Amino acid sequence: MQSNYLVKFLTIILLVFGMNVQAQHEEPQTTKEDVSFKAKIKESINHHLLDSHDFTFFSDSETGKHYGFSLPVILWDKEDGLQLFSSSKFHHGETVAENNGNYYKLYHNKVYKTDAEGTITLDDHHHPTQAKPLDFSITKSVLMIIVTGILMLLAFVGMAKSFKKGPIVTGAGRFLEPIILYIRDEIAIPNIGVKKHKKYMPYLLTVFFFVWFLNLFGLTPLGVNVTGNIAVTFALALITFVITQFSGNKNYWKHIFWMPGVPVPMKIILAPIELLGVMIKPFALMIRLYANIMAGHIVLMSLIGLIFVFQNWIGSSLTFVLSFAISMIELLVALLQAYIFTMLSALYFGFAVEEHDEAH
């Protein structure tokens, strides 16, 4: 009896889906409105992924209004020196900004010096020929880095103050303490060693919570994609690289350039390979974090866009369920990428400070 009801239910679903498919086949080919709507979705995804000189929460496409706030633009012009003004002068890249008699325009999210009409001329390689001032602006990504730093400072300072009152931590420290102990006991000590792990704990804790919090901010409707910016991941990987090289002992460098116990011809062959490996490690750190976060954002934003592309309740509903499932996975990825970056950094530090028993 239950199987009959199941068969009837599936039959109804197939009929409804078949009518929808038939109706879609009877419709004319893709219209200009459909193309423009898909272009708007693509533009929205690109806007989410790229950095910007203003912080926009959302925009009204019908009225052309943007809801958010402006950020300070800080430029160093070789001819006219320091230039300070608000990003509202750009009006989201739609107008030319005038400051102290100079004109600047946003082109592909970069600031170029131009004339009052905002003329941008391109060379044979489609690169602007206008002068490009040094940009030290407080962009959306920079603002979120500052906000994350302030949150971390408040959380850890509050945790330190609570320890002064007693052995039991209070407030946000109850959430942070188990994570800190896990990083110490499961990441730092096994990879660096009991004697030397304390020296690297401040950096490991900082980079873990920094990457994790920024990854979580990237999943919010605020539209920030800090760790999906290769410049940010490059800076983090560079810090790990510098700490590793300055921590390296004589055994570390010996095993790179003149490995003990290896025939001399093999040493000559392996030394360049080992030196190349030193450069590849931070590169792998940079690409791993950048690619995973960027890919996750693209997939999630594309699925959300498909909800509006589908014109039937089945497609939109299934896409919504899939988007929700991917969002839950991205929460795990946000934590996992912070863990991997911290784990590999500790592993590289451990290689640099490891003592080798040459007799064995």
Angstrom distance (rounded) from CA 204 to CA 209:
9
Q: Is the pLDDT of residue 331 over 60?
A: yes
Mean pLDDT of 50-63: 73
- Confidence bin at 87 (pLDDT 50/70/90): confident
Q: Is the pLDDT of residue 100 over 90?
A: no
- Retrieve residue 158's tokens: 């509050």
Q: Kindly report, residue by residue over 122-181, the tens digit of the pLDDT.
A: 888 888 888 888 888 898 889 999 999 999 999 888 888 887 777 777 777 788 889 999
Confidence (pLDDT) at 12: 36
Could you give the C-alpha distances from 154 to 157, 200, 276, 321, in angstroms and in order?
5, 21, 41, 37
User: 71 and 85 in contact (C-beta within 8 Å)?
Assistant: no
User: 290 and 23 in contact (C-beta within 8 Å)?
Assistant: no
Task: State residue 81 phi and psi, 5-degree precision.
Answer: 75, -150
Q: Is the pLDDT of residue 20 over 50?
A: no
Could you give the C-alpha distances from 346 to 122, 166, 355, in angstroms and in order?
46, 31, 16
Q: Kindly report, residue by residue over 211-241, the tens digit of the pLDDT.
A: 999 999 988 877 788 998 899 999 999 999 9
User: 88 and 156 in contact (C-beta within 8 Å)?
Assistant: no
User: 165 and 158 in contact (C-beta within 8 Å)?
Assistant: no
- Retrieve residue 244's tokens: 């590793």
- Give pTM, 2 decimals: 0.81
Confidence (pLDDT) at 25: 38
